[in-house]
Structure 1
Amino acid sequence: MATQQTQGIQTLLEAEKEAAKIVQQARQYRVQKLKDARSEAQKEIDGYKKVKEEEFKAFEASHAGTTSTTQAALDKETEAKLKEIDDVYKQKKDDVVNSLIGRAILVKPELHRNLKKVTA
């Protein structure tokens, strides 16, 4: 009977070792699957990122010409307005200076309203 018990215990120990090996293999399998899933997800992310960057570059290239054209038109319009303002300044400058000088030398002496006339 002791041999039978020892043999039963030995069988249980072997079964426990086998179960531990199976559990360890399952853990390793799970870890490997997680690594594989992460690397696959990273590949998908990189591919999506590459596609979006190419779309952005194409969009940027198609609109870059529009921006430079618009900037050139605005620069031209600004120059025209500045020239117009300069021309008006040159035309009106003498009139404004003469008007200011005329006001400066126009003197009408009169008593201040707060000054009372002293009657003798």
Structure 2
Amino acid sequence: MAAQHSQGIQTLLEAEKEAAKIVQQARQYRVQKLKDARTEASKEIDEYKKVKEEEFKAVESSHAGITSSAQSAVDKETEVKLQQITDSYNQNKDKVVKKLLDRVVLVKPELHRNLTKVES
């Protein structure tokens, strides 16, 4: 009976070892599948990124002419306005200086309009 009992325990230990091997193989299989999935996802991301970059470059190149023409139009308009401001400055600077000097030099002393005469 002891031999039979010992053989039953031995069979259980072998079954336990076999189960541990199966569990270890399942873990390895799961880890490998995760690695494969990450690699595949990385490839898909890279392909998608490449496609979107090409689309962006195509849109950018198609709008490059529009942007440069708009920039040149804005530059021309700015030049015209700056020239107008410069011309106006050159025409009116003497008048402005004369008005400022007249205000500073020619002072007419008079009472303020809010000042009331105090009766004594």
TM-score, normalised to structure 2, is 0.72
RMSD of aligned alpha carbons: 2.6
**Alignment counterpart, residue 27 of structure 1, candidates 13, 23, 27:** 23
Partner of 1:6: 2
Larger of the two Rg values belongs to structure: 1
AA matched with 2:54: A
- Mark the runs of 5 or more structure 1 residues left unpaired by the alignment: 115-120
Shift of 1:109: 5.1
Partner of 2:45: 49
Partner of 1:111: 109
Shift of 1:104: 3.4
Shift of 1:94: 3.5
Q: Deviations over 1:38-65 (max 9, x none)?
A: 1221122122112211122212211222
Q: How many residues align?
A: 111
Shift of 1:76: 0.7
Q: Distance in 2 between matches of 1:35 and 1:105?
A: 89
Partner of 2:97: 101
Change (3 A) 1:98 1:6: same
Q: Distance in 2 between matches of 1:25 and 1:86?
A: 85
- What is the aligned-residue identity percentage? 6
Partner of 2:116: none
Q: Distance in 1 between matches of 2:61 and 2:10?
A: 77
Partner of 1:117: none
